[in-house]
Structure formats: C-alpha cells, structure tokens
Structure 1
Amino acid sequence: MTTVLVVDDQILVRAGLAALIHAAPGLDVCGQAADGEQAIALAARLRPDVVLMDIRMPDVDGITATERILAQAADPLPRVLVLTTFDLDEYVYGALRVGASGFLLKETPPERLLTAIEVVAGGDMLFAPSVTCRLIEAYAHRIGQEADAPTELDPLTARELDVLQLVGAGLGNSEIADELAVTVGTVKTHLNRIMTKVGISSRAQAVVLAYDSGLITPRRALPG
C-alpha cells in the first residue's frame, strides 16, 4: 500500500484530492496538511511514501516545505509530487532543485494524477507536458550564458557521465541499459555512485545536475 500525505491550503481541494486517492486501489491517505509547516511536521511523524504538495501556501510555501521534508527525512525518503495551478518555470526549477520527483497542474485528469503518484512512488519522475519543454529551453539558454561555471562532475567516470547524460535526457533505467548495453542493475549501481559522489539524493536532482553542469542540452547528441 502506497501512503500519501495531501498538502493544500484550500480545504475543498484538499478534501477532494484525499477522497480521490482514498478510493484508488493500492493508495491510502495517511494525512492532510493545510500549509507547509504542518506538512513538515506530519511528514516527519507519518513517513508517507508520497507527499502531494501544493506550491503557493501562506507562511511556508511548497518548495521550502519540500526542501525541509527531504532534508530531515530518514531513508527511504518520501517522493514529493508537486500539484499546482501555476505552471511557472521558476516553480518547476525550484521544485527540481530541492528534490521533487514530479510536477503536475491541478487541471490534470484524475486518472493521470493517480498514475503519477504510483510512478513517483516507484522512483521515477513525471512532469506535465505543458511545462517540460519550456523548462529545458530555459536551461539551454542559461547554460549558454554560464559556460565558465565550475563543474561538479570531476569525480565521475566516463561511464557515469554517460549514465548521467541519459538520465538528464529523460530515459528510464531500462532504456539506459539498452542504450549502453548493460544490465538494469548496473545502471542502478552507476546512478547510486553518481549520487554519492556529487552529494545528491534523487533522480530529479540528477536531471538538474545534468543541465546545470552543461553536460546535456536539448540539442546535444546522446552517447552512442
């Protein structure tokens, strides 16, 4: 059973999301929070598998709450799925930066939301199509202006760089294994080593690192 903490400052939205999730097979609502501060406290006490996180809330916003939840959580870390009305690039980037595993809009159909919860609970990432392309283009423009920025990739081997580049390109573990002609277990091992070496804790942060370091841009060829 996948446990979900629902965080939203609007009581009708929060109650509706909780009812939807509670009715879905394999999902259970373990708690509800009306703001970021409450979400932080409940996440520490309840240890949900997934936190469904609103962005714009009074006092402590969803990005700050996500950062604090993941910073204080014990392994296994909860997966944070951001659900917001606002498809602003700064929110997507901020959510990725602090370790969120997904970003969806509140206009998302119910069945897609339920699927997204299962996807992020399984360790993968999921983003609304309407924001993904804009985010990548923003990264491409930013990297072009920061070519001299220091890199965090020096500790990585050539094969680890290949894996990180493919993660940044959006490939899943099985697709990376096919691309590099290795096993899925080998891909997971490389990814764990990458995270340890560069001090990150999620696949989402690995995607950010791939773009932030200039390892990948939307027009760069994948390793062959």
Structure 2
Amino acid sequence: MKYKSVFDIIGPVMIGPSSSHTAGAARIGKAASTLFGKKPTWVKVYLYESFAKTYKGHGTDVAIVGGILGFDTDDPRIGKSLDIAKDKGIVVDFYQDEASTDHPNTARIQLGNSKEEFELVGMSIGGGKVEITELNGFKLNLSGNHPAILVLHNDRFGAIASVTQILAKHEINIGRMEVSRKDVGKDALMIIEIDQNVSEGVEKELAESDYILQIAKIID
C-alpha cells in the first residue's frame, strides 16, 4: 500500500495553507537545525522553482525559519518565526535561485555561526513529507520521517562494522542504510534509518568508535 494511515492522505496537523509549501518546508528547516545541532547566528535559504515563486504567499519562508527554530508543523509561533529569529539575533536571508532541480519544491539551507557552517538540501514531496538529498556536499536520500543516525567517518576498513555492531548489541534494528563518500580514503557519511530513537549513551558509544568523526541524529 502506498499509504500507511489516514494521516498520510490528509497530511499532518499543521499551520496552513499548504502541506507541501508549509508543513514540508518546516520539516526541512527542522532537519537542518537538528543536524547542525547548534544555535545559528545566520541563515541563508535558497529557494527553487515553485518554492521560489510562491514562498511568501504560501508561508514557506516563515515555515522554514520556524523549523530551524525547532517549531513543529502545528506550532502557532510559525507565523511569527521571522520576528522571533530576529529577536534571537539570527540574521535570515532568502534567495530565489533559477537553477533547475529534481523537484519544484526544493530548498537549500545554509546556516552557521562564527565557528562552523552547515548546508542541507531538501525537497517537500507532498503531504508534509520530505526528502533530504544533500548534506555538506554528500549526496543522500533521507526521508526525515523516521529516526535516523548520520555518521561522518573516515573511509576506512571496519568503520561501518563498528557502528552496526554497536547498534546490534543494543538491539536497535536498521530499517535502511546507505553510505556516501567524496573520494576513496577520504571522509564518508553513513545514513542509518532505525526503528527507535537512540539514547545519549548509545550515541556516545558510537562517537567513540574507531574512525568516527561526528554523529548527528534525527529523532522521531
């Protein structure tokens, strides 16, 4: 079946007007914030095709920023997210990019502070569902609708096994996994969708494994 529940058909509980342009946009923003894991001082949002043409009227701008601030799709503060971000000292800029994309509802989000920068590309594919297709230059396919662990690691023999063995030890089932690398022997990225959220203890154990550089997670 294409739909698992009635909520997949009618879309999520949300602040309107559009599940694709608002709820999906908020989830892309929240994924960026969660994976960055720190408070940004600046945000740059590049919008493409349909997003670029209608982002003000459909609330895509406030939705993305609301997600970056950690708001859920039904949070009434989303409508005031731009003002809230400004009050928090976060500088937000939007750009309409004319480049072609794989999906008309695509956003590239860059955010950072004085020490670190982060970039994520996401698509809102309908009904509030999203796909994350790029993370700091790594190509990937992450739904954002399930708990997930993202593991940045050295491209070395045994790195993947060390992670999967820890998950197996703690009886954490892997629903889907993919590995992306920029070049042989350089940095690589594991994307692991799992059936449950991992505890801080498991996250710490993963971070201390051989060849692991950084851990980020998306919680359900």
State the TM-score bracket (shorter-chain normalisation).
0.3 to 0.5
Which has a greater percent of helix? 1
Which has a greater percent of strand? 2
TM-score norm. by structure 1 comes to 0.34
Higher relative contact order (CA 8 A, sep 6+): 2
